[in-house]
């Protein structure tokens, strides 16, 4: 037993109350975040400003005393570090210079990669200096499938046609891209851990668009390679895998990737979540809309999750990130309920 509740849970210890943190716990629902956001030239500039990114990361910790701080960054900074053009447009989201052919896939230059993204490591260094020891820093990266989806589509997409076409028909080129992202992700996470993070979360936000055959090859296998290599470099690190929309494939994802805990989106039935606790700690999975609306809906949904999962190793979280219009008081009430 340590004095870090979330690490105890990741070591399969049952904690009461369970540790709690939120995806997108630092963001637009907080007035203090909006004030800092006004001072920066853009979202990427905020992510790459160690002083401001550190301050934003700390905002929900100061407000809510959550059990972990997740470094303020974005999964697509990896594409910037690889030399691709990246920008975020208000109301549209990320825009990346799209990969059209195999020639557009860069080779991995680790020195240039780390130079372009070094400010993220500086943010982590700053966080380690000011956070209490019982509150660890969570570092993260996007999983290769999800990052590849953005790179091939040029940003967000309604149907993700291009990545599926590449995965089905341009298998050699697609594997080249996945391998590049495996190497980049390992290097990125290695540096984050060396800078001071104690927990890693892998975000596979678009896992749900992959049919079974692609899921196994492009999600489970790359995740397994990343986890194995990171564990060989840093044996004590804990890794949470979050494959949003995985559905029935979540069982294989939890069982075969080597992750220490599985993050669950809101569509995963609590009966399956409880079943997974027999093999691995689970994290989740309150619907962000329940947090947005608050009141009796929030209390009912929270009770349902707590009653189903509190008897096993469990980290309370959402099934995805906090929505921008979420009232701060709803977050306060949720934390009170979980901790009571």
Token pair for 106: 């860069």
Number of domains into which the chain is organized: 1
Q: Please state, as a whole number, how many other Cβ atoms lie within 10 Å of the Cβ of residue 340.
A: 7
Tell whether the model's pLDDT for residue 1 goes beyond 60: no
| pLDDT band, very low/low/confident/very high, at 90 (cuts 50, 70, 90) | confident
26 labeled binding residue:
yes
pLDDT tens per residue across span 183-192: 999 999 999 9
Q: Is 251 a catalytic residue?
A: no
Our answer to whether residue 74 is catalytic in this structure is yes
Q: Is 114 annotated as a binding residue?
A: no
Rg, C-alpha atoms of the chain: 19
DSSP class of residue 327 equals -
From the candidates 29, 33, 74, 126, give the one annotated as an active-site residue: 74
CATH of the domain at 186: 3.20.20.210
- Whether 304 is a known active-site residue: answer no
| Bond preceding residue 20 cis, omega within 30 of 0 | no
Q: Is 27 annotated as a binding residue?
A: yes
Contact 262, 221 (CB under 8 A): no
Q: What is residue 41's predicted lDDT score, i.e. its pLDDT?
A: 83
Residue 2 pLDDT: 72
Q: Tell me the per-residue pLDDT of 265-320, one tens digit each, with 9 for 90 and over.
A: 999 999 999 999 999 999 999 999 999 999 999 999 999 999 999 999 999 999 99
pLDDT tens-place string over residues 133-166: 999 999 999 999 999 999 999 988 889 999 999 9
Parent domain of 132: 5-339
DSSP 32-78: HHHHHHHTSSSHHHHHT-HHHHHHHHHHHHHHH--S-EE-S--TTHH
Q: For 142-286, where are the alpha helices, taking DSSP H only? A: 144-153, 161-169, 171-195, 212-215, 221-233, 250-256, 270-276
> Which tens digits make up the pLDDT trace of 69-81?
999 999 999 999 9
Q: Which residues contact 148 (CB under 8 A, 6 or more apart)?
A: 163, 174, 177, 178, 181, 218
């Amino acid at each position: 037993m340590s004095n870090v509740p979330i690490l105890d849970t990741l070591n399969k210890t049952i904690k009461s109350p369970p540790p709690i943190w939120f995806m997108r716990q630092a963001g637009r629902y907080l007035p203090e975040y909006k004030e800092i956001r006004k001072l920066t030239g853009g979202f990427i500039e905020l992510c790459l400003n160690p002083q401001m990114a550190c301050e934003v990361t700390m905002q929900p910790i100061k407000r809510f005393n959550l059990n972990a701080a997740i470094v303020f960054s974005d999964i697509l900074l990896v594409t910037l570090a690889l030399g691709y053009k990246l920008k975020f447009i208000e109301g549209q989201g990320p825009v990346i210079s799209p990969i059209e052919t195999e020639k557009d896939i860069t080779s991995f230059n680790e020195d240039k990669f780390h130079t372009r993204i070094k400010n993220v490591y500086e943010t982590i260094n700053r966080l380690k200096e000011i956070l209490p020891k019982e509150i660890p820093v969570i570092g993260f990266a996007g999983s290769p499938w999800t990052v590849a989806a953005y790179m091939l589509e040029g940003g967000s997409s309604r149907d993700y046609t291009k990545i599926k076409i590449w995965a089905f028909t341009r298998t050699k080129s697609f594997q080249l891209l996945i391998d590049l992202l495996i190497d980049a992700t390992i290097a990125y996470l290695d540096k984050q851990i060396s800078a001071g993070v104690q927990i890693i979360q892998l975000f596979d936000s678009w896992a749900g668009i992959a049919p079974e055959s692609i899921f196994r090859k492009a999600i489970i296998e790359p995740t397994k390679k990343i986890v194995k290599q990171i564990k060989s470099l840093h044996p004590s690190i804990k890794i949470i895998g979050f494959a949003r929309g995985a559905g029935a494939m979540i069982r294989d994802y939890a069982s075969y990737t080597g992750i220490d805990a599985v993050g669950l989106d809101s569509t995963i039935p609590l009966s399956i979540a409880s079943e997974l606790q027999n093999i691995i700690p689970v994290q989740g999975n309150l619907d962000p809309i329940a947090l947005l609306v608050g009141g009796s809906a929030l209390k009912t949904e929270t009770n349902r999750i707590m009653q189903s999962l509190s008897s096993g190793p469990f980290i309370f979280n959402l099934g995805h990130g906090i929505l921008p219009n979420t009232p701060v008081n709803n977050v306060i009430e949720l934390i009170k309920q979980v901790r009571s």
